[in-house]
Structures are given as structure tokens and as C-alpha cells.
């Protein structure tokens, strides 16, 4: 264990009746990082965050938070963590300011929102003009920002957020990320679960999760650099859904191809070598007309899909 690690999880397992939610998950989080856990529903993201927050026990493996064992020293870690769950868990009949004050009192933190930190949170969460509004009268995005402010009101060293941008409009989504970066700049380490692969670029490092395991873990640039295939984007002359699916299925049957995915009205074709992809597309051209075919840099979605097949 090194002093620069906020979280170290090794071979973590967690079970629910009939389900293995985490199957040997190993990740780490450096102090001052914003780390993302990205994956589909059922990947184990929420289970791991609940473990980090002290809301669930592990069934195997080890987790340390700032060098303390999460199981044996959980009481000492209580005030070091802030947790923002998926659902809105605050009080609708209290105002924004009253919710902040209530949570601050529960942690024994200075009075909020009058404290300097409380005012700063209201500011960078965009809540200052709404501090006297009832929480029930906030929009969905505003409720998410209030939840983040409440999760950070006691100035935790580690802030844990479960899909904070799910179901919010693009402007609120941008504002939420802006608030998280401001919290990071104030010295708070952040772990975020997300189902949105397009959010990967916002993290310092990303764990791509599926079936309770990390398929890949690293910075977005490192994940793209480690992509093992040659990738080409193909645009068909006929971009109707039946034609796209027919072309995808035809290419996928080619043994020289590692995988092919539909991305909107185009195909991403992954092969073991540039020559193998070119040959497969030539064979496709005998029955399908293409408008364009060119090498591209893989997206994190390409990386995730490739990781699931390796």
C-alpha cells in the first residue's frame, strides 16, 4: 500500500442470493483522481460503490481506503467518505439550504449553507439562487446537484457517486461535471459509476466493467492505445437498417475479422491486420456498395466491445 492510493480493491467478491455481483474485481484510485466505473446494468458498479460507502459487506477479497481496512476500520472511515446514491434520498419538504444544514449537522460539520465551504458548494453546483426553494420543486438535474452538494458538505476526502448524470438534460450534465471537477480541485478524490461510455473521456482513469469484473482499467488514452485490432469505419451507400445489418452479419462471418459493430449509420470493422480488413471489405464489395472506408482511432466503446470478446 502506498500513500498516494485512496482506494485499493483486490479480488473483491460480493454475492446476492443466486447472483455473483462482483467476481474478483480489482481496481485502485489514486489520491486526487476522478475514476470512472463504466458498464451496463448488472455489471457490479452499484454493488462496489455501496461497499466503498460502507453500506455493504464484501464476501471475499480486500478493500483499503486511505490505507485503512474497510472491514475492520469502517467506523474510522465514516467521515472520510461522502456517498451520492442513484435515487434522490433527501427531503423534499426542506429547502436546498435546509437539506445542506441537516446533512452537515449529521456529520458534525460546520453550519451550512452559511459556512465558507457550504457557500462554495452552492456556488459551483449552481444552487445559490435556489437555496430557499423546496427540494420537491427542483428539476431532476437540480436535485442531482443538490445531492452532490449534500454528499460533499462535510468535505470528505473521498466522494462516491452512483450514476449522477443519469436521466438529466445536457446542460445539467455539463454542470454536474463542472461541479465534480471543482470538488476535485478542492482536494476531493472522486469515484463515479456511469452507464454512459461517452463519459469515459471525462475521467483520469476508467474501469470497464462487465459481469462483476474489470475488463480493462487505465486512462482513456492508454485504453485506446492498447486496442489490439486494426479498425476501419465503413459507410454504406444504402444506409437502411436492413442493409446495415446484412452487411454487418456478412462481415462478421469472415474469419479474418475480429468483430464488427453498428454505430448509427456506419460500421466499425476490427481486424487482425490492415490487410485482413481490406480483404474482407473487398469481399463485401461484391454484394454491397460502400461510400467510404477509412482507418479510425478506436473509441472507448470500441475498446469495451473488444474487451468483452477477448
Q: Which domains does the chain have, with CATH numbers?
A: 5-219 (3.40.50.300), 227-309 (3.30.70.100)
Label residue 12 left, alpha or beta by phi (over 0 means left) and psi (-120 to 50 means alpha).
beta
Instruction: Give the per-residue pLDDT at 310.
Output: 55
pLDDT of residue 284: 82
Q: Give, in order, the Cα–Cα distances in Å from 199 to each of 38, 161, 204, 248.
A: 9, 14, 11, 26
Q: What pLDDT, on a 0 to 100 scale, did the predictor assign at position 3?
A: 67
Q: Tell me whether strands 230-236 and 266-271 are parallel, antiparallel or unpaired.
A: antiparallel
Q: In Å, how far from its chain's centre is CA 288?
A: 38
| pLDDT confidence of residue 287 | 77
* pLDDT tens track for 251-300: 999 888 999 999 888 999 999 999 989 988 888 877 778 888 999 999 99
Cα torsion for 278, 297, 260, 257, to the nearest 10°? 40
pLDDT of residue 51: 95
- pLDDT, averaged across the chain: 92
Residue 232 has pLDDT above 50, yes or no: yes
Whole-number pLDDT of residue 237: 86
How far is residue 127 CA from its own chain's centroid? Answer: 24
* Residue 190 reports pLDDT greater than 80: yes
Using the predicted structure, report yes or no on whether residue 1 has a pLDDT greater than 50.
Answer: no
Q: What's the full length of the chain, in residues?
A: 310
pTM, entire model: 0.90
Instruction: Give the closest residue to 36 by CA, choosing from 214, 200, 226.
Output: 200
State how far the Cα of 45 lies from the Cα of 49, in Å rounded to an integer. 6
Give residue 130's pLDDT. Answer: 95
**Confidence tier at 176 by pLDDT (50, 70, 90):** very high
Q: What percent of the chain has pLDDT over 90?
A: 73
Amino acid at each position: 500500500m502506498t500513500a498516494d492510493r485512496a482506494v485499493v480493491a483486490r479480488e473483491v467478491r460480493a454475492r446476492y442470493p443466486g447472483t455473483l455481483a462482483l467476481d474478483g474485481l480489482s481496481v485502485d484510485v489514486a489520491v486526487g483522481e476522478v475514476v470512472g466505473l463504466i458498464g451496463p446494468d448488472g455489471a457490479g458498479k452499484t454493488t462496489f460503490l455501496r461497499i466503498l460507502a460502507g453500506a455493504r459487506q464484501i464476501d471475499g477479497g480486500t478493500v483499503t481506503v486511505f490505507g485503512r481496512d474497510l472491514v475492520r476500520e469502517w467506523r474510522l472511515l465514516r467521515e472520510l467518505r461522502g456517498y451520492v446514491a442513484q435515487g434522490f434520498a433527501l427531503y423534499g419538504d426542506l429547502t436546498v439550504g435546509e437539506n445542506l444544514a441537516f446533512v452537515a449537522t449529521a456529520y458534525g460539520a460546520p453550519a451550512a449553507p452559511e459556512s465558507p465551504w457550504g457557500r462554495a458548494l452552492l456556488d459551483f453546483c449552481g444552487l445559490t439562487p435556489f437555496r430557499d426553494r423546496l427540494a420537491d420543486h427542483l428539476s431532476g438535474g437540480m436535485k442531482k446537484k443538490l445531492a452532490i452538494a449534500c454528499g460533499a458538505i462535510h468535505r470528505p476526502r473521498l466522494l462516491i457517486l452512483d450514476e449522477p448524470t443519469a436521466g438529466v438534460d445536457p446542460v445539467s450534465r455539463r454542470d454536474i461535471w463542472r461541479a465534480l471537477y471543482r470538488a476535485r480541485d478542492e482536494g476531493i478524490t472522486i469515484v463515479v459509476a456511469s452507464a454512459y461510455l461517452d463519459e469515459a473521456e471525462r475521467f483520469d482513469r476508467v474501469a470497464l466493467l462487465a459481469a462483476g469484473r474489470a475488463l480493462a482499467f487505465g486512462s482513456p488514452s492508454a485504453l485506446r492505445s492498447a486496442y489490439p485490432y486494426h479498425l476501419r469505419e465503413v459507410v454504406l451507400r444504402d444506409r437502411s437498417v436492413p442493409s446495415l445489418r446484412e452487411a454487418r452479419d456478412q462481415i462478421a462471418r469472415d474469419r479474418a475479422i475480429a468483430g464488427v459493430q453498428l454505430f448509427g449509420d456506419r460500421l466499425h470493422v476490427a481486424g487482425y491486420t490492415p490487410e485482413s480488413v481490406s480483404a474482407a471489405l473487398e469481399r463485401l464489395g461484391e454484394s454491397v456498395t460502400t461510400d467510404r472506408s477509412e482507418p479510425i482511432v478506436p473509441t472507448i466503446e470500441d475498446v469495451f466491445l473488444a474487451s468483452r470478446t477477448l
